[in-house]
Amino acid sequence: MTVLPHSTDALYRLSDAVDGFLRSEKEFNLTDPATHMLVGGRFRTLGAQIGASVLAGVPDEDIAAIVQPARSACARTPFMRSEEEWTRGYPTDFRFVEHVMAQANNVTPGTLGWHVEANLQGSPFSQQQRNRVMHQARLIGDTLTAPRNAPRSILLIASGAAPDLRSIPPGIVRPGDRFVLSDVDPDALALAQKRLGLLNDFTSVVPGNIFRALNPLAELAPFDLVLVNGLYDYLNDRAAVRLTEAVLTRLLRPGGTFYFSNTAVDNPFRWPLEYLMEWQLIERDEAAVRALLPGCDVSVGREPTGLALLTHVRVRRG
């Protein structure tokens, strides 16, 4: 292992943090559910030391080697294992989103994995995911209940299994209203159709990579509301601009609303995500988000945890 002299201390602190996290199995009473707070404290310390090592210039491969035992321990939990394995070959597998939304902990009680899972399910990172979904559900509900005689048309890009749409009461949907779901994962769309119930009568799906799906989606346009939950976390600026322009010029009705979310900069969960789960997000601040939308009527806010930016774009009527 080759490291720069000034990074040696960071390596020692990181190694101590890994050891402290693993010692939780011997030093804490894991049969006590409240112990998840103590385990969570050591998990956060581990994340902070990973970040300190990165900033100190420790090579990525050295950090990865040191944290491997902690990563293996974390992989015992469904929260971390589903992302680490990338069962479908790309991040934010829809099953992970469903798991977070359900707030389930099916790990064997009294194990380190149970406490890691409990801590992560109760973390701001998980809550911001739920907040994003709930915010989209409110936008859908607002669109459906807004005064308007014509039917409403709503598009969900990177929809997953549409947990936001599934929360909408069918009673507020009127004849002629329609929902379109688009996702790269056909299994996500299949689960959405399985769980949408009566809303299936108003819903169609367009599977595939969003950039390949633009033409068939344009044939179904215009939409009153276009929602994108989380996809911008994985799009570089060039791809983000391309998608944004396509939505605004090809998919959205004049007077309609385009919404997307994006992880904010200085995300404190960045380091454990990257080094314990191999999950890399493209973070943006408000200025970077606005740079994707020059000349547009844009509103940028944050969900309650502050970890995600919520961007609303209104297309002016001609």
Tens of pLDDT, residues 252-287: 999 999 999 999 998 999 999 899 888 889 999 999
Are 166 and 285 in a shared domain?
yes
Residue in 108, 151, 118 with CA at minimum distance from that of residue 253: 151
Q: Is the pLDDT of residue 3 over 50?
A: no
Total domains in the chain come to: 2
Burial of 159 (0-12, 13-18, 19+ CB in 10 A): buried
- The reply to whether 179 and 252 lie within a common domain is yes
Q: Cβ-count burial of 70 within 10 angstroms (0-12 exposed, 13-18 middle, 19+ buried)? A: buried
CA distance 292 to 276: 31
What pLDDT score does 315 carry?
Answer: 79
Count of CB atoms within 10 A of residue 141's CB? Answer: 15
pTM exceeds cut of 0.85: yes
Residues in contact with 39: Cβ distance below 8 Å, sequence separation at least 6, in sequence order: 21, 24, 28, 112, 115, 116, 119
Residue-level pLDDT at 273 = 87
Is pLDDT of 245 > 80?
yes
- Nearest 5°: the CA angle 186, 126, 73 is 90
Task: Say whether both 186 and 298 belong to one domain.
Answer: yes
Domain ranges, residue 42: 5-122
Instruction: Enter the tokens of residue 289.
Output: 């988000």
Whole-angstrom distance, CA of residue 190 vs CA of residue 193: 5
Q: Are residues 233 and 293 in the same domain?
A: yes
Per the prediction, the chain carries an average pLDDT of: 91
Q: Give the tokens for residue 283.
A: 């973070």
Give residue-wise pLDDT tens across range 276-285: 888 889 999 9
For position 198, which CATH number holds? 3.40.50.150
pLDDT in tens, 10-68: 999 999 999 999 999 999 999 999 999 999 999 999 999 999 999 999 999 999 999 99
Peptide bond into 222 cis (omega under 30): yes
> In the numeric block, which tokens belong to residue 234?
């994985």
Regarding whether 258 and 113 lie in a shared domain, the answer is no
* Domain identity same for 107 and 208: no
Q: Give the residue from 100, 122, 144 where a domain finishes.
A: 122
pLDDT at residue 95 in the model = 84
Q: Say if CB 282 and CB 232 are below 8 A apart.
A: yes
Instruction: Determine the Cα angle at 256 with ends 175 and 154, to 5°.
Output: 40
